[in-house]
A and B are shown apart, each in its own frame.
Chain A
Amino acid sequence: MSAATTSNRNLELVGFALVALLIMVVLPLSLDIFRLNLVGKYLTYAFVAVGLVLCWGYTGILSLGQGVFFGLGGYCMAMFLKLEASSVANTKIQSTPGIPDFMDWNQLTELPLYWIPFKSLPFALLAVVLVPTIAAFIVGVAMFKRRVGGVYFAIITQAMAAVMTILIIGRQGYTGGINGMTDLRTLWGWDIRTDHAKYILYFVCCGSLLATMLIGRFVLASKLGRILVAVRDKEDRVRFSGYDVANFKVFVFCLASAMAAVGGAMFTLQVGFMSPSFVGIVPSIEMVIFCAVGGRHSLVGAVVGALAVNWAKTAFSESFPQLWLFAMGGLFIAVVLLFPRGLAGLFTDQIMPLFGKLGRGRGTMAPSPAPAE
């Protein structure tokens, strides 16, 4: 199509390549394994941010409950790892050997029925993606078919995050409660706690993140991507052009949730535990902030945002632990007021013009309504 669009697409490919170079080459060469593992953890949030670009940035559906899907993915992975770590040999001091330690502490004497399939790795990997997607599908159908949207949808997803946390904490015999699932050791006999394993898991994480971005790219470049923008803009017009708008919203919400879930599973593998503190309202909102700071209309921006905010969080909280929350709040206000299209928007609007007249046509996506959609 137009020259502007083409150069913009090229610009995005350059962005993809730069991110790939940064996370696959530059960071592994310049950081020690402790720091690299931290970056790996930040990148797991980037999965959620990429999903939010599709769901929030392009379709205008603000979900304040992505932590739920991140958590579901993470917990599905953790259930497998926990079962493997709870072999009879490892747990012979328990009153019921062979079940996870927290079950034993809570007087459970046998493995609950729904835990049993998680002994199989293929099942667990499938569940990582399917359980959160099915959950998102149910919520999506219930909301979007009834035309619940905007602020009401955001509030309901936030309530979902609260419910999920309470559920996990309350049912500690089945979920590990507030401590989460800890002391995860091996993946099919392979120790995930060694430095070597951490390196490999880091690269697996990078690879899946890049694949996730490419899937996002594919969706956004298709006609479906343009329909999502159209839904954000004039939902009624889309409906009166013969589309079932709810189906498209359910699709993008499920896709965003599946992406968040893969991030959650990568988190569990790299950090070595999963707990409700990554599921609730606060982490869910933080994930929206990563996306907003990076630029909610840019897949590359979302990854950069997740990296930048988390890096700042670590740096800040190492030196000024009490100040971090204020800095985070200030950052969000600054994004909304000063650069509503995030770092990506700042880049295409302010920095690109300095490099000559390259691709100023359409920006990453045209200017759009206020972030608090």
Chain B
Amino acid sequence: MASNTDFLLALEGVSVSFDGFKAVNELSLYIDKGELRVIIGPNGAGKTTVLDLICGRTKLTEGSIKFKDQEITGLKEQNIVKLGIGRKFQTPSIYEDLTVFENLEISYPRGRDVVGALFWKRTSEITDRVREIARTIFLEDHLDRLAETLSHGQKQWLEIGMLLIQDPELLMLDEPVAGMSVSERAKTAELLKEVIKNRSVIVIEHDMKFVESIAHRVTVLHQGKVLAEGDMATVQANPKVKEVYLGH
């Protein structure tokens, strides 16, 4: 099955088991360049595990994951990041004791070794880039605030910004609108439309309205397997999908 493809990301026959429980089972998934893919599925379907596998947080039991035709299974997390894969966690994962500016600055993809970090110079190029990203994520006026004082929605945006500043080719977002207010959701959808330009994005989401508003293609996971795949209408019409997920 180890074929060369034009896909940006190709998962083939991927399985992972925790103490005999197969969280992901013989899963194959292909993401095109520039595609926005939404993964949905009931709790425990293995959605987050799939992201964990791609970014190297969880080691797979069998199968292959290729990014731009390069096998990435077994690579260290930070090296996968350097290839161009960014990951946002489910709960906002930001540095609460640092300011918004510092959060973004640390995420800037340079000076990532000990020596580079010790003799880091904050050039105008970096400051400009931080401001540019801050504008995109609606936090331009909050650069000097400690991140812990941001609202929940703002924290989610900040983490998205921390990924954007790395300009990854593949961005993976785990429930980016969870816990957001209605107006924050609308703004996030707007933000994501900006974000997906020039890159591929995988989004895990529960909120079906939100999914409808952004998705190109939808993959439904159930018990670690792909249950259905296609555009939103096809997937919603699929009787199996209705049964396990949408029909409740």
Which A residues contact B (CB, under 8 angstroms)? 1-2, 4-5, 219, 222-224, 226-227, 229-230, 232-234, 236-245, 247-248, 251, 362, 365-366, 368
Contacts and interface: CB of A to CB of B under 8 A. Distances in A.
Interface residues of B, number: 38
A2 B144 CA distance: 6
Contacts of A229: 95, 97-98
A241 B97 contact: no
Contacts of A251: 114
Contact of B120 (A2, A224, A243): A224
B148 interface: yes
B102 interface: yes
Which of B76, B89, B118 has most chain A Cβ within 10 Å? B118
A140 to B, nearest CB: 12
Contacts of A244: 76, 78, 112-113
Contacts of B95: 226, 229-230, 233-234, 237
A349 to B, nearest CB: 15
Contacts of B27: none
Contacts of B148: 366
Interface in B155-169: 159, 162, 166
A235 to B, nearest CB: 10
A5 B98 CA distance: 11
Given A226-B106, A366-B97, A241 B166 contact: yes
Given A241-B166, A366-B146, A230 B98 contact: yes
Contacts of B8: none
B35 interface: no
21 contacts: A1-B99, A5-B144, A222-B118, A223-B111, A223-B122, A224-B118, A226-B98, A226-B105, A226-B106, A233-B95, A233-B98, A237-B94, A239-B78, A240-B55, A240-B81, A241-B106, A241-B107, A241-B166, A242-B78, A242-B109, A244-B78
B101 interface: yes
B62 interface: no
Nearest to A224: B117
A62 to B, nearest CB: 17
Contacts of A248: 114, 117
Contact of B162 (A223, A227, A241): A241
Contact of A222 (B78, B99, B120): B120
Given A229-B97, A366-B96, A242 B166 contact: yes
B93 interface: yes
Given A222-B119, A227-B117, A240-B87, A365 B97 contact: yes
B45 to A, nearest CB: 22
Contacts of B111: 223
Question: What 9 A-B pairs come out closest when comparing CB atoms?
Answer: A223-B120, A224-B117, A2-B144, A242-B81, A366-B97, A230-B95, A237-B93, A224-B118, A233-B95
Contacts of B140: none
B93 A219 contact: no
B144 A236 contact: no
Contact of A236 (B93, B99, B106, B118): B93
A4 B57 CA distance: 38
B213 to A, nearest CB: 27
Contacts of B89: 236-237, 240
Contacts of B55: 240
Contacts of A241: 81, 106-107, 112, 162, 166
B77 to A, nearest CB: 5
